[in-house]
């Protein structure tokens, strides 16, 4: 197992956001966290990112994730969150280079032999080669999302976490993003965990799924089993399968 959560709960004040959730991720798997608004999907990801305090256990290998140093943990787990606005005029290269932070060694963190090659590859994969000196303040939302994708790819983590990565992306980049991550997953001992709103995307790319409902785990396991008509109907309170088929009929001509 790479990452395993055992009875994880997160509370915001008196309000429980995630309650007693357990699952574990093995190399080669792509987990999809799905569920309606307010189900606790992003909160669970925040807990794994060590951004909010939780109770229960989250382990990387055999050890609690809190026992790793910030740098060591960043070499294991990389996170791409929703598109952000930047206050200051950083260049594309400066933001992507931050992905190498955990790998930099020595005085003032100057030494990083693998850095330039990793950065170049990340820029190429995300189609940003040649845009290194563009300012983030001049880029569109979709381009900014690609810059942060390049950052997390150059970080070279083993588990990649995506929090609603396709938000604000044009369909073309949505498709490019998901197939790029599919290729990334196949190289070496890697895994992906993503929060997605779009159930069709989840079905198309995931291998496993975790279905959340009001902070609790409604179902978990291999994707087709979790996203069965009964499970989805119970959580979304509608016949999701019928609705999805209905949505797609106009495209079948």
Partner 1 sequence: MKTARKIVASCLLTALLSAVFLLCVCLGSVAVPLGDTLSLLDGAMEGREAPEGMYSAIVLSLRVPRVLCAGLMGAALSLCGAAMQGLLRNPLADGSTLGVSSGAALGAALSIVLGFSIPGLPLAGAAGMAMVFAFGSLAAILALSYGMDRSLATHTLILIGVIFSMLVSSLLSLLITFSGEKLRTITYWTMGSLSGKSYEQAGLLAGALLLFGGALLCQSRELNAFSVGEDNALHVGVPVRRVKLTVMAASSALIGVCVAIGGSIAFVGLVIPHVMRLIVGPDHRRLLPLSLFAGAVFLMLADLAARWVLSPLELPVGVVTSLIGAVFFLFIFYRSRKEGRV
Binding site for partner 1 (CB under 8 A): 49-53, 69-75, 78-79, 81, 84, 86-91, 94-95, 98-99, 101-102, 104, 108-109, 137, 148, 151-152, 155
Shorter beta-carbon distance to partner 1: residue 2 or 136: 136
Query: Whole-number minimum distance, CB 9 to partner 1, in Å?
Result: 16
Our CB check for partner 1 shows the closer of 102 and 166 to be 102
Minimum CB distance to partner 1 smaller for 53 or for 188: 53
Q: How far is the CB of 94 from partner 1 (least distance, A)?
A: 6
What are the structure tokens assigned to 173, written together?
């980049």
Q: Cβ of residue 162: shortest distance to partner 1, in angstroms?
A: 12
Q: By C-alpha distance, which of 79, 74, 92 is closest to 152?
A: 79
Is 41 or 220 the residue whose CB approaches partner 1 more closely?
Answer: 41
> CB 90 → partner 1: shortest distance, Å?
6
Shortest spacing between CB 214 and partner 1, in angstroms? 25
In the complex, minimum distance from the CB of residue 91 to partner 1, in angstroms, rounded to a whole number: 7
Token pair recorded at residue 241: 């399968």
SS3 178: helix
Q: What dihedral do alpha carbons 118, 123, 124, 127 form, nearest 10°?
A: 160
| Backbone torsion region of residue 201, taken as left when φ is above 0, otherwise alpha when ψ lies between -120 and 50, otherwise beta | alpha
Residue number, 156 or 213, with CB nearest to partner 1: 156
Task: Say whether 67 sits in a helix, a strand or coil.
Answer: helix
Q: DSSP readout, 82-107?
A: S----SS--BHHHHHHGGGGGG-BSG
Cα 172 → chain centroid:
19
Beta carbon of residue 72, minimum distance to partner 1 (angstroms, whole number) = 8
Strand, coil or helix: 236: helix
- Cβ closest to partner 1, residue 19 vs residue 151: 151
Tell me, rounded to whole angstroms, the distance of Cα 64 from its chain centroid.
20
Integer Cα distance of 24 and 98 in angstroms: 29
**Across the strands, what pairs with 8?**
21
Cβ proximity to partner 1: between 75 and 216 the closer is 75
């Amino acid at each position: 197992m790479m990452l395993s959560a055992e009875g994880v709960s997160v509370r915001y004040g008196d309000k429980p956001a995630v309650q007693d959730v357990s699952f574990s991720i093995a190399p080669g798997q792509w987990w999809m966290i799905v569920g309606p608004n307010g189900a606790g999907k992003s909160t669970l990801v925040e807990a794994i990112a060590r951004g909010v305090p939780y109770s229960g256990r989250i382990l990387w290998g055999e050890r609690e994730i809190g026992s790793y140093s910030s740098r060591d943990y960043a070499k294991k787990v990389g996170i791409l969150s929703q598109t952000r606005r930047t206050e200051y005029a950083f260049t594309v290269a400066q933001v992507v280079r931050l992905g190498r932070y955990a790998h930099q060694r020595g005085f003032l963190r100057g030494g990083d032999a693998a850095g330039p090659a990793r950065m170049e590859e990340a820029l190429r994969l995300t189609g940003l080669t040649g845009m290194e000196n563009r300012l983030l303040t001049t880029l569109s939302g979709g381009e900014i999302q690609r810059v942060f994708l390049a950052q997390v790819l150059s970080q070279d983590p083993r588990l990649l976490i995506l929090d609603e990565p396709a938000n604000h992306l044009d369909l073309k980049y949505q498709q490019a993003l998901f197939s790029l991550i599919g290729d990334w997953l196949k190289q070496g001992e890697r895994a992906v965990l993503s929060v997605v709103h779009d159930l069709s995307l989840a079905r198309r790319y995931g291998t496993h799924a975790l279905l959340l409902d009001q902070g609790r785990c409604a179902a978990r396991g291999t994707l087709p089993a979790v996203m069965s008509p009964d499970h989805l109907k119970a959580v979304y309170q509608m016949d999701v399968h019928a609705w999805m088929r209905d949505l797609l009929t106009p495209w079948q001509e």
